[in-house]
Amino acid sequence: MISIRDLTVEYRGGHRGIEKVSIKIPTDRVTCIIGPNGAGKSTLLKAIAKIVPYNGYVYLDGLEVSSTPLKTVSRMVSYASQIHSHELLSLSVLEALLVSRYPVSKGFVEGAEDYRSVYNIAREMMIEHLLERRIAELSSGELQRVIIAMALAKDPRYLLFDELDAHVDVGVKAMLSKLIKKWSINKVVVFTTQDILFGVTNGDYFILLDRGRVVFTGNKKDLLSRLGIIEKVYHVKIARYKYSDLDLIVPIYTS
C-alpha cells in the first residue's frame, strides 16, 4: 500500500505543489488522479517516486521513501512522464529500454534476460518497428508509447504514469485500457490524466486534487454520484451517460 501523511512539497519562491495531503492509495484497484493543470498531480507522483524532496511521510510497503535508498525505491517504482533529457533523446528506442532496466539488471553489460524482457515489452506496446529509431525522431504519440515501455522494462511493483494517455490517438487509448487491466493483476497502477472520460473508464479508485489539496477520494460509484465537485474544480459542466454496462462522464464545452 502507498500511505501518505501530512505531505507538503514546496518549490522555489514558496509555491506549494502539494499541501498537507494525507491519503492511502489501495493496492488492489487502479487509482486515477484527476484535477486541473497545477492541481498537484505530477508533484504527488514525483514525491512517491522520490524525485522531489518533501515534508511529511510517504510509505511504500512500510518503507518511508525519503529515508530509503534511491536504488531500493527505483527497483520498486517506475515513474513515467515526458522525456526532457538530451542524453536520452540521442539514444535508440532499444538503447533507452535497456537503460531503463539498469536498476534490476544483473550486471553492467546487458544480458539475454534484459533483451528478452525488452523485446516482450516492445511487442506488448506495439513498438517493435521503432526499436532502431532514435528517441528524437519519434512523433509525440510514438514517444508516449516508448515512455510507457520504459516504465515497464524493470518490472516494478508500482507503476506511476503521469498523463498516461497524453498525445496518443483513440486507438492507442483503447489498447491502453486493455493493458491497464492486465498490468493491475500483479502491479499497483496509479495514473493521472487530463481526459476525464479515459480516467473514469479505466480507474477504480479516484483522487481529485485542486491547488495542491485533496478535495475527493473514493471509488467510481461515489465519484459519479458527486459530479458537482468535478464541475466546481474544472469550472465546466459534466454530463453522465450509460453505454452498455459502462457509466461514463464527459465535459460539456459549449456555453
pLDDT of residue 117: 94
Instruction: With cut-offs at 50, 70 and 90, classify the pLDDT of residue 89.
Output: confident
Lowest mean pLDDT among 76-90, 99-113, 130-144, 208-222: 99-113
pLDDT at 247 over 70: yes
Average pLDDT over the chain reads 94
Confidence category of residue 197, pLDDT binned at 50, 70, 90:
very high
Cell (9 digits) for 78: 517506475
* pLDDT tens-digit map of 51-73: 999 999 999 999 999 999 999 99
State mean pLDDT over 174-199: 96
Statement: residue 142 has pLDDT above 90: yes
Q: What's the pLDDT band for 102 if we cut at 50, 70, 90?
A: confident
| pLDDT one-digit tens code per residue, 3-44 | 999 999 999 888 899 999 999 999 999 999 999 999 999 999
DSSP the chain: -EEEEEEEEE-GGG-EEEEEEEEEE-SSS-EEEE-STTSSHHHHHHHHTTSS--EEEEEETTEEGGGS-HHHHHHHEEEE-----HHHHTSBHHHHHHHHTTTT-SSSS--HHHHHHHHHHHHHTT-GGGTTSBGGGS-HHHHHHHHHHHHHTT--SEEEETTTTTT--HHHHHHHHHHHHHHTTTSEEEEE-S-HHHHHHH-SEEEEEETTEEEEEEEHHHHHTTHHHHHHHHTSEEEEEEETTEEEEEEE---
